[in-house]
């Protein structure tokens, strides 16, 4: 249970960092507008790259919040509960789909002449996000099987 609590602390720290990231949009709005305007001509999707980055941040934040709720549920009620199973599934699905979508967009950017050294690293991070989501989905399935076994066991007693 100690490792789960450490994971809860790390997730809390990541949520706080994302909240700081989102609050920086309000304080540095003039600078972000300038950066978005300058980047329109250099990047394949133009101003949509900036929008896609914000949407990606929102979905990662949403996945982190769902993960936090899931980990908190595991600490309070145990691993094999219906709520933790559902929350884990949704968090894994968010991370997996986001990783696949970002990988696809980055492959398009890579084939359209963007700096390869930078985008290869970003591509691997996107693949890692998809892999993380897939691993969470696998753990969610194991939790589902454990929940069913636990429910059957409680019925026989």
What does the domain layout of the chain look like in residue ranges? 2-156
* Token output for 46: 């133009």
Confidence class of residue 64 from pLDDT cuts 50, 70 and 90? very high
Residues 6 or more apart whose CB falls under 8 angstroms from that of 51 comprise none
Helix (H, G, I), strand (E, B) or coil at 47: coil
Ramachandran angles phi, psi of 81, nearest 5°: -120, 160
pTM score, two decimals?
0.80
CB 5 within 8 A of CB 62: no
Per-chain mean pLDDT for the chain: 83
The residue assigned the tokens 């249970």 is 1
Furthest C-alpha separation in the chain: 68
């Amino acid at each position: 249970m100690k490792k789960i609590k450490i994971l809860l602390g790390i997730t809390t720290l990541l949520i706080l960092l994302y909240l700081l990231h989102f609050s920086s949009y309000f304080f540095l709005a003039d600078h972000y507008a300038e950066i978005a305007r300058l980047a329109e001509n250099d990047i394949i999707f133009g101003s949509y790259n900036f929008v896609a980055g914000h949407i990606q941040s929102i979905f990662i934040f949403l996945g982190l919040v769902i993960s936090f709720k899931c980990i908190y549920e595991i600490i309070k009620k145990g691993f094999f509960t219906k709520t933790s199973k559902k929350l884990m599934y949704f968090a894994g699905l968010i991370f997996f789909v986001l990783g696949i979508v970002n990988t696809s967009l980055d492959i398009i950017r890579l084939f359209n002449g963007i700096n390869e050294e930078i985008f290869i690293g970003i591509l691997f991070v996107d693949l890692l996000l998809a892999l993380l989501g897939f691993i969470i989905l696998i753990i969610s399935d194991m939790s589902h099987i454990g929940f069913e076994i636990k429910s059957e066991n409680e019925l026989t007693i």
